[in-house]
Structure 1
Amino acid sequence: MKNLQGGLDLPQMLFSLMFILLMIIACLWVVQPFILGFAWASMVVIATWPLMIKLQHLLWGRRSLAVIAMTILLLLLFIIPIAVLVNSLIDNSAPVIAWATQGHMTVPQLDWLKEVPMVGDKLFVSYHKLVDGGGSAIMSKLQPYIGRTTGFFVAQAGHFGRFMLHLGLMLLFSVLLYWRGEQVGLGIRHFAYRMGGRRGDAAVLLAGQAIRAVALGVVVTALVQGVLGGIGLAISGIPYATLLTVVMILSCLVQLGPLIVLVPAIIWLYWSGDTTWGTVLLVWSCVVGTLDNVLRPMLIRMGADLPMILILSGVIGGLVAFGMIGLFIGPVVLAVSYRLVSVWMHEAPAPDDDPETVVEELTEHDDHTA
């Protein structure tokens, strides 16, 4: 058929664009239940790919044996511990929520201040003057918000079935990506090159570095510190050790460290008279608390150095947006975006002119044009 309209065929372009958008929306609709699991698996596989290659060399070059070994490692070191921690958090959260929401929170009396030499009595009297002047009222005002906050964080772990589904999908997709990792990586690079040339290819490689930096330098360090700190709490006889382990992992993810939990536990042991286990936990806490100074730089060197405020925002924002799985995905999303924007900015030289000179030139230009 002869084209009656020469040149640009605007209706054809519009209908083609509408068709492409409909196909994209339909595809996203179909794969939406699997997006989080696939994203989590991609992060895990990218971070552990060098280890898988080494295992393949050790296992006579057999990819199947390396994939089986990595699957067992993921089950033993990642999936089972996380599932146990989340399950224990759900089981042990009931008394915490009840205590935080039923109005039993009161201002501590701190009677032990009297025993402090020289200044103990003055500190005790000053503290109670402060409490009598409004401390109880402040606690009653904070009570509803503390209860809501506690309930929110526990509710994120309360979606246990959905969380286990994401864990299962992550394991399944990890096996597939381990098996065909080179082909998947080449396909992604090919698509990026088709979209943006060499710059698109470089963006994919930079994204991989950012993912590895977060996964190894932040998540692995937090898991190691939290689990080791939890072992110390359990051995020392601290109650709710599993729940406190989850709190330690979260505090390590947001870069507060494990000492925010370990120091009060040490004080409680000494205060209750158990000085032996208090000393043991003190020594163990010194090891766990300083572990990130050695482990994190070593792991981050395998990826890319990232600002801690970026990781903090990613952890909190990911938890709010995606639930427990967002603790791992949130920092990765921000880290990848940060790396790509940073590289794009540094393609141009930084301005070296004096700010006042720039403002004067702009003002003179506006005066001339006016």
Structure 2
Amino acid sequence: MSIDVDAVRKFLSRDFMDFCIRLGLIVAVVVACERIFAPFIPIMLWGVILAVSLYPVFLSLCQRTGFSAGRAATLIVVLGILLLGVPSVMLGSSFATHVFDVVGNFDVNTFTVEAPDASVKEWPIVGEKAYAAWSAAYTDLPAFIEGLQPQLGSFSKSALRAAASTAGTLLFFFGALIIAGIMMAYGESGTAAMGRIFSRMVGDQKGPAMHTITTLTVRSVAMGVVGVAFIQALLLGVGFMLAGIPAAGLLALVVLVIGILQLPALLVSIPAIAFVWGMGDGGTVVNIALTIYFVIAGFADNVLKPMLLGRGVSVPMPVVLLGALGGMMGAGIVGLFVGAVVLSVGYELFMGWVDDESLVAVASEGEATGTSDGAAD
């Protein structure tokens, strides 16, 4: 039986050409979709994170109130916007009013600076320079301000950029919250679709497990990082108000930000303790009580984080924490969630490969064979 080599070659060449054309079309469609969708990836990603984190609250609200999915999602979105938007607007309005008052006092020359205390010289490192600058401002404030014009100009530009960035971030978050509300309203169909995607990617056996791990990891990071930072900011904010520290709300916001960035809250609580003892109006007993409170609140994350981070997830807590920290270093705040999810899923896939039943069977067979050979010898 002879084989027509030319016919086989033509057949293979035609199939290979069809394969290359189909592959090229698929790549072109994927690239085009990525470029079209790229501007919406950040807000959609945050929408998914918020939807996954708030979905238990959404289900509880539906069960307790009997609301439809659309009404419950709308209520959560409205409450979220009010809880974040109203304090932000009040804080911004207060800050703007304070700035305008200061500028008005400069214009009418009613702004004065008190004479520095001699103890300022004894401050470590910066005492002499701080005392000299303070004395210059007390002696001739207009000349002192005029000498700082270049620095003030650059500072004002940086402040304006920071304010614009903050406002843009707030609007971005509101948009992500609205998207999360839409996702929660269609949560059942979305959950089913994600389950099918995971099953298609890693198989029907491991797909549901990977889906569950991803969901629980996002919620764990939301509670263990963002939740802990919010609790700590609330505790310290109450302490700042009780101690009479100026701009207590702004300092609480700073605590929230550094908590999300995984920095110690002691960076704010220690200066607050110094303010209580140096400039506070309370007695010794009150200062001791506030100091103990600030120390406990400053170390609260060390207790709360192990309790909430990794809760409900089969992945060890250090893996989730390392993923969150590494992701934040590489991709910012959103990397907290993405890094934790990717490392957790990778850990589960690796351990699933290590604990694969076929490998365990082969190992046990090898041990049995070695034992029997040894007995025969």
- Checking the alignment, whether the CA contact within 8 Å between 1:59 and 1:65 is kept in structure 2 is no
Contact 2:49 2:218 in 1 (8 A): yes
Q: What are the residue-to-residue correspondences of 1:52-91 with 2, within 5 Å?
A: 52-60=58-66, 62-78=68-84, 80-81=86-87
Specify the alignment match of 1:47 in structure 2.
53
In structure 2, distance between residues paired with 1:84 and 1:14: 60
Does the CA contact (< 8 Å) of 2:61 and 2:72 recur in 1?
yes
TM-score by length of 1: 0.66
Deviation at 1:331, TM superposition (A): 0.7
Deviation at 1:254, TM superposition (A): 3.7
Name stretches of at least 5 consecutive residues in structure 1 with no aligned partner. 96-108, 114-123, 129-147, 320-326, 351-370
Match of 2:267 in 1: 260
- CA displacement 1:109-159 (0-9 Å, x = unmatched): 98658xxxxxxxxxx9xx89xxxxxxxxxxxxxxxxxxx9xx999966642
The equivalent of 1:28 in structure 2 is 34
Equivalent position of 1:117 in the other structure: none
Matches within 5 A, 1:322-361: 327=333, 329-349=334-354
- Quote the offset at 1:161 in angstroms: 4.6
In the alignment, the residues of structure 2 paired with residue 343 and residue 90 of structure 1 have an alpha-carbon distance, to the nearest angstrom, of 51
Between the two structures, name the one with larger relative contact order (CA 8 Å, sep ≥ 6): 1
Contact 1:34 1:169 in 2 (8 A): no
Larger deviation, residues 163-172 vs 329-338: 163-172
Question: Against the structure 1 CA distance between its residues 85 and 258, is the aligned structure 2 distance closer, same or farther, given a 3 Å change threshold?
Answer: farther
Q: Distance in 1 between matches of 2:288 and 2:241?
A: 14
The 1-side partners of 2:226 and 2:278 are apart by 33
Relative to structure 1, the CA distance from residue 317 to residue 232 in structure 2 (aligned partners, 3 Å threshold; closer, same or farther) is: farther
1:89·1:242 contact (CA, 8 Å) conserved in 2? no
Aligned equivalent of 1:16, options 22, 25, 28: 22
* Correspondences of 1:1-370 after superposition (within 5 Å): 5-7=10-12, 9-60=15-66, 62-78=68-84, 80-81=86-87, 158-198=164-204, 199-276=206-283, 278-279=287-288, 281-293=290-302, 295-300=304-309, 301-303=311-313, 305-307=317-319, 308-319=321-332, 327=333, 329-349=334-354
Native 8 Å contact 1:306 1:335 kept in 2: no
Change (3 A) 1:200 1:217: same
* Offset of residue 36 of structure 1: 1.2
Tell whether the 8 Å contact from 2:195 to 2:208 is kept in structure 1 after alignment.
yes
Cα distance, 1:162 vs structure 2: 3.2
The 3 A distance-change label for structure 1 pair 34 and 317 is same
Q: Distance in 2 between matches of 1:84 and 1:48?
A: 26
Paired with 2:188 and 2:207, the residues of 1 have a C-alpha distance of 18
Change (3 A) 1:223 1:81: farther
Give, as a single letter, the amino acid of the residue that structure 2 aligns with 1:346. M
1:334 maps to a residue whose letter is G
Q: Distance in 1 between matches of 2:329 and 2:196?
A: 34
Amino acid at match of 2:327: G
Aligned-pair distance for 1:240? 4.2
- In the alignment, the residues of structure 1 paired with residue 345 and residue 74 of structure 2 have an alpha-carbon distance, to the nearest angstrom, of 34
Paired residues of 1:222 and 1:253 also in contact (CA < 8 A): yes
- For the aligned residues, what is the CA RMSD? 4.1
Greater displacement, 334-343 / 257-266: 257-266
* 1:225–1:291 Cα contact (<8 Å) kept: yes
In the other structure, the counterpart of 1:98 is none
Using the TM superposition, give the Cα deviation of residue 190 of structure 1 relative to its aligned residue in structure 2, in angstroms: 0.9
Name 1:360's counterpart in structure 2. none
**1:15 and 1:152 mapped to 2: Cα distance?**
52
In structure 2, relative to structure 1, the CA distance for the partners of 1:228 and 1:10 (3 Å cut) is: same
Q: Whose Rg is larger?
A: 2
1:18–1:157 CA distance, 2 compared to 1 (3 A): farther
Aligned to 1:137: none
| Other structure's SS at 1:347 match | helix
- Aligned to 1:275, the other structure's residue is in SS state coil
What is the count of residue pairs matched by the alignment? 299
**Aligned equivalents of 2:71 and 2:270: distance in 1?**
44
Gap regions ≥5 residues in structure 2: 1-7, 103-118, 127-153, 356-377
Distance 2:158 2:23 in 1: 42
Percent identical across equivalent pairs? 25
What is the rounded CA distance, in whole Å, between the counterparts of 1:243 and 1:270 in structure 2? 21
